[in-house]
Amino acid sequence: MSGKRASHRLKQEDRPIYVRTPLALLLLSLCAIAGIWWWLAEPIRLAHAPIESNSKLECVSYAPFREGQSPLVKGTEIPPEQIAQDFAQLAKISKCVRTYSIENGLDKAPELARKAGLKLILGIWLGSNRVNNLVEIATAVGLTKEYADVITGVVVGNEVLLRGEMTATDLAATIRSVKAQVKVPVTYADVWEYWLRNRDVYDAVDFVTIHILPYWEDIPIRARYAAAHVDSIRKRVAVAFPGKEILIGETGWPSAGRMREGALPSRTNQARVVSEILQLAKRENFRVNLIEAYDQPWKRQLEGTVGGYWGLFDAYTRALKYPAGEPISNFPLWKQEMAGGMVLSVLIFAAAIWTARRRPWAPPFAWWLGVFASATVAGTLLGVAVDKMLYESLGVAGWVQWGALLAAGILSPLLSASALMSGRSLPTFLEFLGPRPGRTSSRRLVLLGLVLMVTTVIACETALGFVFDPRYRDFPFAALTMAVVPFWMLMTLNRPQSGVRPVAEAAFAGLLALSAIYIGFNEGPANWQSLWTCLIYLMLGVTLWRARAAQIPG
């Protein structure tokens, strides 16, 4: 009997470790996840909706391409029925649309605009191919004469000086040639700086069309200052060209994509910038053409994720992003994303508890804190990581890469929690890829090692991308953090005490550390996405540097 009572007392003493401690930390983790998601999803309410129900926009840029359609694919022809559907929808929010070309089926745009009750600013696409230029001009001139009641202006060339495909002298001559053949006002459209550098073009146009995109400025402008920046540039150009109207031919803000210094693409920032610019235009009485009507997925091939998300309407649902009177949130599905994160946190704690109960010793409290940190980080960031994967994956390679990183972010805390409670350290690459005598026989450690390898390879690939070609790359901070924090906790709490530093881990650690330092300076201190990503690169680098492998006899 005395033996049974001692056993009973032992179980009672162990109970706080095995049950009460993890359950208390799990509850705290779930509360933290809920609180953070409540804060992330907090909607904004603007004094003026971007698109008010009782008024219409002055004009909006229009490209007809939907998912799977691209002007980069030769021979792409958009059916008139598709353009007619778009125009019918746009006529409810805008007085006018601006086109950029007469190719890809847009030669039907004037006729369809007439039926929808829209006015049209007709674009002529100019490039380095003179034959194509002549065809564009001839077609546009004919349309202008046939649809004089619809076409209110002609834009002869779009950013052709920016692309360096024509000289200012040739462009001015082309503009004068078109002016001689049409009876509507003629202009040229380019980034505001190129107007100031090529003042000769001013004499050839009837009005000046400038593009002001605060996000894409050489020194990016924060969303809160975007409207003031637009106003400042407009007034600067008006002083330089005092005799003619200044039309802002492109302005707006992206709803998704990577940060550039302090300029953050987001749904709320897009709504705020568009609203403030439109209110400014009303007060100052100048015309604005927003870019753009619909998100254009094909632009991501040229400009990265951010290029595909400038639209007022979603590319896939064709729904208005900001209906009047509705609150605007960066995470409209936040409840589902929060619930998914909570489930993941529960699973991580379950894996730790299941492993701990199979061991004869009571796990130290620090181990449970490690599980808590991993579960809370993973549970909080799961929704963000899924959201980023859906927005940022492009093509098969993109989906494979970001899908693999997200899978690593989910598996890493589950496997690391189990390894932590079993008293094991993070496996080295040699333990599952090296010579057979030194390989581990544990399937869970092999799987954990594979997850570490996938995370390391993707981290190094993205880091090198930010070093050599950073402009259009997205920062993988969410999924990468989910994967790296558990590795960090496991290596910190169960650090190997003997062995040699493996060459592969040391090389990867050096690459990540040097890349992180360069990226941090290159992207600047205002870019929190960059700083966050660099911190995770450094954490992974330190984790790999701490690795130790047993020496295998020759």
Say yes or no: 20 and 136 in one domain.
no
pLDDT at 358: 81
Say yes or no: 84 and 229 in one domain.
yes
Q: Is residue 516 part of a domain?
A: yes
Q: Is residue 110 part of a domain?
A: yes
Omega prior to 292 cis, within 30 of 0: yes
In degrees, rounded to 5, the angle at the alpha carbon of residue 452 between the alpha carbons of residues 403 and 401 is: 20
Instruction: Please give the DSSP secondary-structure letter assigned to residue 93.
Output: T
- Which of 255, 273, 308 lies at the terminal end of a domain, its last residue? 308
Say yes or no: 398 and 532 in one domain.
yes
Say yes or no: 451 and 386 in one domain.
yes
pLDDT at 387: 96
- Which of 276, 308, 340 lies at the terminal end of a domain, its last residue? 308
Return the amino acid letter for 10.
L
Q: Is residue 52 part of a domain?
A: no
Judge whether residue 362 has pLDDT over 90: no
Say yes or no: 250 and 366 in one domain.
no
pLDDT at 438: 61
Tokens 């601006």, residue located: 98
Q: What whole-number percentage of the chain has pLDDT above 90?
A: 84
Say yes or no: 161 and 193 in one domain.
yes
Using one digit for the tens of pLDDT, what is the confidence trace for 5-52? 444 444 444 444 556 889 999 999 999 999 999 999 999 888 887 888
Judge whether residue 128 has pLDDT over 60: yes
Say yes or no: 279 and 428 in one domain.
no
Judge whether residue 3 has pLDDT over 60: no
Q: Is residue 531 part of a domain?
A: yes
Domain at 273, CATH number: 3.20.20.80
Say yes or no: 65 and 106 in one domain.
yes
pLDDT at 550: 64
Q: Is residue 554 part of a domain?
A: no
pLDDT at 52: 82
pLDDT at 2: 44
Rounded to an integer, what distance in angstroms lies between the CA atom of residue 371 and that of residue 141?
69
Q: Is residue 313 part of a domain?
A: no
Provide DSSP, 147-163.
TTTTEEEEEEEESHHHH
Provide DSSP, 343-403.
HHHHHHHHHHHHHHHTSSSPPPHHHHHHHHHHHHHHHHHHHHHHHHHHHH--HHHHHHHHH
Quote the domain boundaries for residue 498: 11-41+332-545
Q: What torsion, rounded to 10 degrees, do the Cα atoms 60, 61, 67, 72 define? A: 180
Give the pTM: 0.91
Write down the mean pLDDT value for the chain.
Answer: 92
Q: Count of domains in the chain?
A: 2
Say yes or no: 337 and 263 in one domain.
no
Using one digit for the tens of pLDDT, what is the confidence trace for 337-358? 999 999 999 999 999 999 998 8
Say yes or no: 65 and 18 in one domain.
no
Say yes or no: 279 and 348 in one domain.
no
Average pLDDT over residues 64-93: 95
Residues 6+ apart with CB under 8 A from 286: 234, 246, 247, 248
Residues 6+ apart with CB under 8 A from 418: 351, 352, 354, 355, 444
Q: Is residue 49 part of a domain?
A: no
Say yes or no: 217 and 161 in one domain.
yes
pLDDT at 13: 47
Q: Is residue 303 part of a domain?
A: yes
